[in-house]
Amino acid sequence: MHRNTSGFTFHESLPSIILGLASSLRMISIAAAMNEQSRLAVLIPCYNEEATIGKVIRDFRSQLPDSVIYVFDNCCSDRTAEIARELGAIVISESRQGKGYVVESMLATVASDFYVLVDGDDTYPAECAHALLEPVRSGKADMTVGARLAETASGSFRPMHVFGNRLVCSLINKIFHADLTDILSGYRAFNRKVVQRIPVVSSGFEVETELTVQMLYYHLKLVEVAIPYRGRPPGSVSKLRTLPDGVRVLWKIFSLFRNFKPLTFFGSLGIVVFFLGILAGSLPIYDFVQSGFTEVKRFPLAILAASLVLLASSLGLLGIILHAVNWRFKELHNVIIRRHD
């Protein structure tokens, strides 16, 4: 006769086995549901938005019930993250201060088929998300941008912001041959292709400019959708600093123009320097001709002219080399992306 010295009996373990199987099945069903829901992600960058984040989450959950809502806590010192968790949003912390860092973290962290990016300040209406998503889901666009300037509430923009936005738009349109009306909108929808192909290196509010320029550079389909823009509700304070952030946006345009259009940038600069050299050299050349080609007067001016012409040639050559390098990197980028797809 054999005894069970381990103290284990099948009848005693049966309930625990059943409970374990039930728990496992429940976790599998939850994971499957989350995987299904993750086909659409709502991304909300936040910095001290406790006055508005609750309404934003409720509005987008009402309009997009099949979505997963992610709130990115960018060093909040108020109850933004706590409120978001209470309402069932997934809260992810980003310790590097700056919207550009948050967007980079979003694209690296969240896996989905379609994305809606919206600020947490309740200035963008959730009901417009359907209009933004429709061209992306139908394949007519890789990214849609909520163009705000057509319909704005009183006081929604500071006096210089409309001027600055239009200045930025005009520069981007001229440089990249586009026809955009609102570069700086924080309300966008896009697909997985954008996440896989667009690098983000900005740190602050200039990230919207970078996203737009990257879309144009890589020839992805960018479509604007007119939306209304509301003023901030009481208790909500804008984090945008007109002059410092405006300068950063203009510097970002300059940097992207130099990096993405080197032949145009350095070639144009070379042409300007060349004509300055011709202008500086006109008097020494005139004196040289008048002397019967025997005497060079205004020697310092002649040296300056020759130096400017050499500099112009160097700038043109630099533009050609960088253009060729850019072209090869673009080819390599496309090959890598195609293999990844």
Within 10 Å of residue 251's Cβ, how many Cβ atoms? Answer: 11
> Given this model, what pLDDT does residue 77 score?
93
The distance in angstroms from the start CA to the end CA of the chain is 65
Q: Of 23-27, 162-166, 270-274, which gets the smallest average pLDDT?
A: 23-27
Query: Over 90: is that where the pLDDT of 118 sits?
Result: yes
User: For residue 37, what pLDDT band results from cuts at 50, 70 and 90?
Assistant: very low
pLDDT at res. 262: 93
pLDDT tens-digit map of 192-216: 999 989 888 888 878 998 999 999 9
Which of these ranges, 38-52, 115-129, 140-154, has the smallest mean pLDDT? 140-154
Question: Angle formed by the axes of helices 207-217 and 159-176, to 10°?
Answer: 20
What is the rounded average pLDDT of the residues 48-56? 95
> Is 18 exposed, middle or buried (CB count within 10 Å of its CB: 0-12, 13-18, 19+)?
exposed
Does pLDDT of 339 surpass 80?
no
Pick the CATH number of 35-260 from 3.40.630.30, 3.30.559.10, 2.102.10.10, 3.90.550.10: 3.90.550.10
pLDDT computed for residue 194 by the predictor: 95
pLDDT in the model for residue 151:
56
Phi, then psi, of 2 in degrees rounded to 5 = -100, 140
Which pLDDT score, from 0 to 100, does residue 115 have?
Answer: 98
pLDDT of residue 49: 94
The type of residue at 60 is: F
Instruction: Say yes or no to pLDDT of 14 above 50.
Output: no
For the chain, the average pLDDT equals 84
Does position 26 have pLDDT exceeding 50, yes or no? Answer: no
Residues 67 and 39: their CA atoms lie apart, in Å, by: 7
Express as a percent the part of the chain with pLDDT over 90: 57
Q: What does the pLDDT average to over 58-81?
A: 96
Taking only the tens place, the pLDDT of each residue in 229-260 is: 887 776 666 666 667 767 877 888 888 889 88
Place of tokens 């990249």: 176
- Residue 40 pLDDT exceeds 70: yes
* Helix H or strand E encompassing 5: none
User: Hunting for tokens 């959708």 — which residue is that?
Assistant: 225
